[in-house]
Structure 1
Amino acid sequence: MTSLRVTVPASTANLGPGFDTLGMALGLRDVVEVLVTEPGLKVEVLDAGAGDVGDVPTDGTHLVVRALRRACEHLGVEMPGLHLRCHNAIPHARGLGSSAAAVVAGVAAGYALAGRGLDDTVLQLAAEFEGHADNAAASLHGGVAIAWRADGRYHAERVEPHPALRPVVAVPAERSSTHATRGLLPERVPHADAAFTAGRAALAVHALTARPDLLLPATEDRLHQDYREPAYPASLRLLRDLRERGVPATISGAGPTVLALTTTGILPPGTVVDGFEVTELPVDPIGVQVTAGE
């Protein structure tokens, strides 16, 4: 292809107890238009709702470019001259997988330019950038992803989300970074908390795929969310308020977005969401898509 269009969904990770393991694709997509040109590189970043364009590089350090280059290296092809138009819709640094989406888009574009279909190595290349595969697997495959690492390789399996799920996200204006919030996590946790969370993670898979009525207990966590409260106290207040109202709510990824796993697409009347932009985002069933450009 000399011109192509890559669309890739946002994602939410952890889903409460599935720390670095569970991910789910959401119906909010970044679009990357790729045009093969004379030698050189041009990157345009066009804001389609993220409001973060000023912080995004427009040179070879752009994450899509880095991932695309890595894919070309892996496939043994030379990266041609390129003109990229990146239409951002996924908010940056809010826990909705913007970095993973950019990486997946870049790797998928590299494969398409090389005339290759996506294979199992795509997840390896994408997950290398962040060191875990939950967001990348969700953006790659759509639906709900279970990710793990074994023998130096990343693995993931897609499972089908229950059709009644209607996720709602509450996105604050403030940002957070995975690096900063991971620094708040203790090196050790009590055995009882680890055992509790392992049981809830197993239950979460069942609840997400077959029994959404169990999502409230299934999304309980004792490994990471409370420890991160100093980074975004308003998000934890909203999370606890929702859970007290019977809504299965979690911190989305590293935060500060709050994810509510509803079956109605709305939050309960009277929920105080000042400072948050509340949106229903369906589960994305498809994952990354590459088509010929116009």
Structure 2
Amino acid sequence: MRFNRLDLNQLVALDALLREKSVSKAAERIYLSQSAMSNSLTRLREYFQDELLVPTGRKMVITSLGERLAPEVKSILISIQKVTQIRETFDISEVDAEVSIIVSDYVSSVFMPAVVRAVALEAPNVRIRMSILNGSYLDRLDRGEVDFVIAPENFTHPAHPTEFLFQDRFCCVAWDQNAAIKAGVKFEDYQKLGHVVTQIEEGRTALFEDWFLAKYGKVRRIEVICLYFSLLPSLVVGTNRIATVHHELAKLYQSTFPIAIHELPVEMPIFREYIQYHKSFGSDQVSLWFRDLLHRVAAQMNSGVKQ
């Protein structure tokens, strides 16, 4: 279909090219052959009378016109996606759809199993695609590539709606035969013992480190850094090390590993997780249903959190 002499199918190709800055990667993104994508780039260059992408060494760089086009094209495609999801009647049990969501491994362990079970009961034809929270999640949300993100408030995107979902508290876990812990974890124990922590980004550990340093002016003795929150309980087993863990996660793994759960010897604020979705999809029927389901599942979790 053409509009103002432009084949509208080329907008999808243009979006991919401007995102990837590579013909081959753009082709992979939208499942075209590299030759077909090269042909699309040629046609787009002719239409806009601009190179759009120019080779510089081994890379391709977007032209100034391409930079101006990128957000407009993204906005158009998001609007088209929104229109295609409108239905006169809505019965979630009959809907065939996929919901994509970005979560941390903590959320995937303690929260998502109950969500998956609820979806199976209410919407057997709805598929869930989960991906891990990493450095690109905010860009993916902003580009409309993912339906939802669950993250702590200070990890949310300021341009998109945010709703409180559930809360948890932190505790300390240790091997249940840790001889260094006599009667609970005291502050001096917390200072003296080695810690196992999670690194959420390259060179940056979880926000607890910043909070602890600001509150007490001291640095914990970090001896092991791992990739995932869900590894923390297992990595203290057989050692005198301890880990600061979300309480729901600790309870989950207490039946699997020989660990003891202790109260923290420091007062730490309640940990809260939030759901985010793209501002253009707030009224989408599947989005409304899924958010309601998340809140219903979260309400059960919130009711068991010690304040």
Q: Which bracket does the TM-score occupy, shorter chain normalised?
A: under 0.3
TM-score normalized by the length of structure 1? 0.24
Higher CA-based Rg: 2
More helix by share: 2
Instruction: Give the TM-score normalised by structure 2.
Output: 0.23
Relative contact order higher in (CA < 8 Å, ≥ 6 apart): 1
